[in-house]
């Protein structure tokens, strides 16, 4: 693989793409770095993609055959037992470099022996390992559904482990993900590269107002119920941006609570405005990394975070936020109270917080990923030459 990077035939492989979130921003950045690349995903909406991400849509895009089924988006998650077969059906034989961005099955792509496969791993399968209880809680699934899911998960775990042997190098997005890789896959990952965060529109000079904010906390692992429960119990003003699978349940739960406002989807401009005016961001889940907290920090807004997951890589108590340890409303309120004390003592410098957030910029990601990928390609080439001589 002694070709120039621009001459490489590159495939970028993603799990699925129905929205442009943090993971898809990573894909966009990789597409900018490898403009000659082709894009593969199990499922997606090409019409939506052309509007939401011309960078991704402006190349050859391939979805799995299952994507042709009408209205698939409404029930694609129930086809999870087919995903390993679908990813293995893609043909990557002619590619020099395959980059998978994965928290599910994209990492299981089968390549030729001469193809370098680098996986930028968001996480080992969350629902198959340490977060299975959160995903398949009895509050969301009845007993017979959990029985069926548990049976299938046994085989999904076996595939998940064996499929990682196909990856040449795994780059984790956070130290927590690196720890999961060592635990569940029994292999040493490459150095951590934090994902790119688009912070160009952050305004850290706006005056803070009397409300807190949460962004898209509507999945089982994102702590939305905890944030809402604390606001219900203690009466502080909470604005929630975004949508997700638990949104309707949480909306029903807070009826009558005028201090809690659901803003649904808002424009990027409005999102940055809310982040800049909020007193703090509530980040109550255990996430692999967390884009919203970096956006908040770039806006000069401290983060109240659960002490675990990706937040440990960037939240510094007293400098840009406050941690809580127990997963209950009282612990969240205590962390919020500490933030208020830090405000009263002028502990937060919005300018310094903005400068700190720049270490997670898109330009930094491009530089780090380029350096690491070049190094890995060189190592792979040397190993290949050594094997051919023997």
Domain with residues 212-360, CATH architecture: 3-Layer(aba) Sandwich (3.40)
Over 245-305, what HEC string results? Answer: CCHHHHHHHCCCCCCEEEEECCCHHHHHHHHHHCCEEEECCCCCCCHHHHHHHHCCCCEEE
pLDDT at 219: 80
Distance CA 65, CA 90 (A): 10
DSSP character at residue 184: I
Say if 5-196+361-389 and 212-360 have the same CATH topology. yes
Give this prediction's pTM: 0.89
For 27, phi and psi rounded to 5 degrees?
-60, -45
pLDDT at 88: 98
Q: What is the pLDDT along the chain (390 residues), one digit of tens a residue?
A: 556 666 899 999 999 999 998 999 999 999 999 999 999 999 999 999 999 999 999 999 999 999 999 989 888 888 888 999 999 999 999 999 999 999 999 999 999 999 999 999 999 987 766 655 655 554 555 666 666 777 778 888 899 999 999 999 999 999 999 999 999 999 999 999 999 999 999 999 999 999 999 998 888 778 899 999 999 999 999 999 988 878 888 999 999 999 999 998 899 999 999 999 999 999 999 899 999 999 999 999 999 999 999 999 999 999 999 999 999 999 999 999 999 999 999 999 999 999 999 999 999 999 999 999 888 888 877 766 655 555
Domain with residues 5-196+361-389, CATH architecture: 3-Layer(aba) Sandwich (3.40)
Domain ranges (residues) in the chain: 5-196+361-389, 212-360
| Tokens matching residue 155 | 């085989």
pLDDT at 41: 98
């Amino acid at each position: 693989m002694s070709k120039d990077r621009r001459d490489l035939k590159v495939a970028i492989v993603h799990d699925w793409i129905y929205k442009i979130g943090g993971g898809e921003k990573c894909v966009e950045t990789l597409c900018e770095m490898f403009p000659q690349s082709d894009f593969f995903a199990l499922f997606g909406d090409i019409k939506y993609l052309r509007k939401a991400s011309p960078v991704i849509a402006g190349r050859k895009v391939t979805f799995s055959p299952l994507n042709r089924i009408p209205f698939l988006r409404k029930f694609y998650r129930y086809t999870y037992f087919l995903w390993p077969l679908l990813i293995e059906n893609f043909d990557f034989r002619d590619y020099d470099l395959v980059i998978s961005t994965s928290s599910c099955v994209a990492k299981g792509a089968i390549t030729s022996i001469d193809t370098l496969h680098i996986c930028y791993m968001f996480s080992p399968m969350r629902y198959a390992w340490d977060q299975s209880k959160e995903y398949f809680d009895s509050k969301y699934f009845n007993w017979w559904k959990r029985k069926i899911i548990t049976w299938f998960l046994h085989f999904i775990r076996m595939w998940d482990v064996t499929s990682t042997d196909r990856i040449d190098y795994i780059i984790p997005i956070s130290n927590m993900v690196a720890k999961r890789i060592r635990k569940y896959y029994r292999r040493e990952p490459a150095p951590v590269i934090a994902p790119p965060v688009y912070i160009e529109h952050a305004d850290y000079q706006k005056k803070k107002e009397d409300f807190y904010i949460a962004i898209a906390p509507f999945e089982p692992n994102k702590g939305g119920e905890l944030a809402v429960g604390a606001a219900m119990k203690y009466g502080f003003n909470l604005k929630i941006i975004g949508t997700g699978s638990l949104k309707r349940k949480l909306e029903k739960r807070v009826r009558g609570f005028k201090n809690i406002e659901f803003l649904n989807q808002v424009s990027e401009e409005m999102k940055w405005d809310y982040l800049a005016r909020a007193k703090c961001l509530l980040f109550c889940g255990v996430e692999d990394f967390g884009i919203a907290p970096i956006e908040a920090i770039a806006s000069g807004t401290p983060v109240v975070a659960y002490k675990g997951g990706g937040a440990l890589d960037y939240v510094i108590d007293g400098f840009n936020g406050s941690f809580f340890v127990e997963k209950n409303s009282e612990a969240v309120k205590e962390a919020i109270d500490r933030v208020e004390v830090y405000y009263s003592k002028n502990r937060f410098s919005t300018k310094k917080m903005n400068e700190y957030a720049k270490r997670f910029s898109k330009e930094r990601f491009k530089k780090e990923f380029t350096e690491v990928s070049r190094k890995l390609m060189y190592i792979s080439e040397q190993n290949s030459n050594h094997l051919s001589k023997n």
